[in-house]
Amino acid sequence: MKLTDEIFREICNHKNPGMFVHGEAKCWERGWMDTADIFLFLDVIYSITRGSFGNPPDVLELGTSDGTSSLAFLKALSEMDGPPMDTVDISNNQDLASQMVQHFELKRWWNNHIKTTADFFSHNQRMYDIILIDADHTYKGALSDFNNSLRFLKQDGIIMIHDAFMHSAGHEAGCGKLVHEILKDPNYSSFVSTIPHCVLLVQRKEDILRHFPNE
């Protein structure tokens, strides 16, 4: 794994001290954290950040939460001596994210914005190679984040939508509806990574076709 077992163990301990008993990881138990999802998802993030671009990428994460996915981006960027990433979340209760970033000495690569994604985009002037959408999981919120992300996505950039099959609580519409629309849209090349909760990887088809010679 690119994200070592030691780092993952540290994430578990920061989230819930005492998760390890006699060397065994209690966090592998379903109920606190679906590790099949998060462990593979972190590796997807890390691998795309490290290997998809010629230069260190500019990264935006919508939905910081506790900083677990941020850590995967930050680790890759730190190894590449890349530019700081931007993370956005409306919550000002992100002590755990800050603790993990500080613990792994990654603060140099972390610009955290405590505001709504709409407010962030209204003032943003930076373009990004990678954008992770993991904020408002309603259809309206996810669609707004996707459309705004397209405005600030560089040529050949990648958008990632986490929880690709998730519906908003109590409603049929959610990320899943948006993902279904994107998968059917001929303007995009998209792929759903089949891990629990799933992540959709999206690129503009015109960006991909630009690299192939005309017949």
42: nearest Cα among 64, 15, 13, 75: 75
The answer to whether position 24 is within a domain reads no
> What is the tens place of the pLDDT at every residue in 59-114?
999 998 878 889 889 989 999 999 999 999 987 656 778 888 888 889 999 999 99
Domain of residue 122 covers 34-209
Bridge partners, residue 133, by sequence: 62, 161
Q: Give the count of domains, the chain.
A: 1
The answer to whether position 177 is within a domain reads yes
Q: How many CB atoms lie within 10 A of CB 55?
A: 9
Give residue 28's pLDDT: 41
The answer to whether position 116 is within a domain reads yes
The answer to whether position 56 is within a domain reads yes
The residue that leads in pLDDT, 13 or 171, is 13
Q: What is the CATH number of the domain that holds 204?
A: 3.40.50.150
The answer to whether position 18 is within a domain reads no
H or E segment to which residue 10 belongs: helix 5-15
The answer to whether position 4 is within a domain reads no
> What is the tens place of the pLDDT at every residue in 112-134?
999 999 999 999 999 999 999 99
Calculate mean pLDDT across residues 3-29.
53
The answer to whether position 73 is within a domain reads yes
